[in-house]
Amino acid sequence: MDKTYMDFHHQNPIMGDPLHVIYFLGCTIYHSRLVKIVLWILVFVYIAFSAAQICYMVSAPETIDIANYGALLLQMLWVIMSTFPILTKNYLIEDTMSVIELWAVDSADEETKTRILKESKFLNAFACFNSTMGLIWATAMIYPNQRDIEHSFPAFLFNKWSPQYDYFLGYAFNLTSFVTSFTMVALGYQFIYGTQHLKFQMYILNKFIEGICHDFVPSDDGDLFDKAHQMEIKFRLKVLVKKHQDIIRCKTRGLANMKGRIVPLSFGGLLIGLSLFLDLLQITEKNSPPILLLRAGSFSIIAASTFCSVIIAGQTFESESENIYNALISTNWYQWTEDNRKTLTIMLCNSISPISMKFTDSFVVNFELGMGICKAVYSAASVFYNMK
């Protein structure tokens, strides 16, 4: 339905989730009790192998062992760090979004609705593509490769302890890749889901701010801002202030739920970056089998696309919040009553600083953080390459 003006007196709640694919891949599948049991088993198995590999490397440190076995170790550590939050606080998104009533995507106008649905379609397509690449990576992991013993510490242990069953045990271990291909990106999907839903609400809010007086018609004496209109502006400002506060409260709730997790997860991004560097060293070795290229290539696409999507989600969320302040100062506030100007001033004070995913003073999910992580990966990789 084409809408010229929005309804300040009645806002329909959202019907249907435009980000349903991301929600399913990031939340729904982990509500199953069976899935949780499988994930707990997976975490303990990965902890055991990671601990064994770390002890092995500490007892007999060799640069060649780090180069050969380091990539899989870093990937296992990342899976452990990203899976624990899913198991210990599985309803993070539901708890975060419970403090805000999401307005329907068609609450403002047709242009905003089209924009929201277009972006939602793109994000859902991204999640499908990422999951497909995850399945390709998992399939490549279980593909037989005689050189796995040189690049997989679990395969090395299986060959040493039980050579007659090493192929079967290695195959069984690699099957866990089908699970980890989903869990290692789940928290990224949750972050994208929460920030983008709030960004969509800011799209609608900004349209409401722009249209706060657009449907006014002059009174009989030609006054566009008579007492009746001023009372209507007062009511509409209260609606806008409440919506703005709901968005801030939801963001704050999300930060509180993620407190203590975001820094380790960002450190995990550094681990994944280093693992990709070690994968690159493996595939550049002489006579490297093509399957290693497929493994490294598909995993690189998953890691890079998820990392970039999280950073972009945080940055676009912050950028759209800046438009709230710009929309407020663009209103014809100079024709309002003093009470309405005071209310506007309160909202201006609340919106003068952008709403950002700020966990600490120096830790904000935006382009600056993304560049910082990339520089840290580059520095660590350079140090290791020089050591090698």
**pLDDT for res 381:** 66
Domain extents in the chain: 20-387
Higher pLDDT, residue 120 or 142? 120
**pLDDT for res 227:** 82
Amino acid at 308: C
pLDDT at 170 over 60: yes
CA angle 182, 186, 189 (to 5 degrees): 125
**pLDDT for res 388:** 56
**pLDDT for res 66:** 65
Among the listed residues 115, 95, 96, 97, the one whose alpha carbon sits nearest the alpha carbon of residue 105: 115
pLDDT at 99 over 80: yes
**pLDDT for res 136:** 94
Among the listed residues 343, 347, 342, 341, the one whose alpha carbon sits nearest the alpha carbon of residue 324: 347
Query: In the numeric block, which tokens belong to residue 304?
Result: 């890079």
What per-residue string of b and e applies to 233-259 under the rule 16 or more CB within 10 Å gives b? beebbeebeebbebbbebbebbeebbe
**pLDDT for res 1:** 38
Find the length of the chain.
388
**pLDDT for res 82:** 85
Residue 167 pLDDT level (bands cut at 50, 70, 90): confident
Amino acid at 181: S
**Bridge-partner residues for 358, per DSSP?**
364
What end-to-end distance do the CA atoms of the chain give, in Å? Answer: 64
Alpha-carbon span 115 to 109, nearest angstrom? 10
Choice among 74-88, 111-125, 270-284, 345-359 with the minimum mean pLDDT:
270-284
Alpha-carbon span 272 to 98, nearest angstrom? 32
Higher pLDDT, residue 288 or 290? 290
Any idea which residue has 């805000």 for tokens?
100
pLDDT at 268 over 80: no
pLDDT at 222 over 90: no
Mean pLDDT computed over 223-243: 84
Mean pLDDT computed over 6-10: 81
**pLDDT for res 14:** 87
Among the listed residues 224, 249, 246, 2, the one whose alpha carbon sits nearest the alpha carbon of residue 111: 2
Mean pLDDT computed over 315-327: 92
CA angle 202, 205, 208 (to 5 degrees): 155
Choice among 199-203, 212-216, 350-354 with the minimum mean pLDDT:
212-216
**pLDDT for res 256:** 85
**What phi-psi label fits residue 218: left (phi over 0), alpha (psi between -120 and 50 degrees) or beta?**
beta
CA angle 311, 353, 243 (to 5 degrees): 90
Residue 386 pLDDT level (bands cut at 50, 70, 90): low
How does pLDDT run across 46-71, given as a tens digit for each residue?
999 999 988 888 876 666 666 677 78
pLDDT at 225 over 80: no
- In percent, the amount of the chain with pLDDT more than 70 equals 88
> What would the DSSP string read from start to end of 34-75?
HHHHHHHHHHHHHHHHHHHHHHHHHHS--HHHHHHHHHHHHH
Mean pLDDT computed over 179-206: 92
Confirm if 78 and 42 have CB atoms less than 8 A apart. no
List phi, psi (to 5°) of 369.
-65, -40
Confirm if 209 and 240 have CB atoms less than 8 A apart. yes
Choice among 246-255, 277-286, 297-306 with the minimum mean pLDDT:
277-286
Alpha-carbon span 51 to 372, nearest angstrom? 29
Q: Which residues contact 66 (CB under 8 A, 6 or more apart)?
A: 57, 278, 384
Choice among 108-112, 180-184, 256-260, 351-355 with the minimum mean pLDDT:
256-260
Single pTM value for the model: 0.88
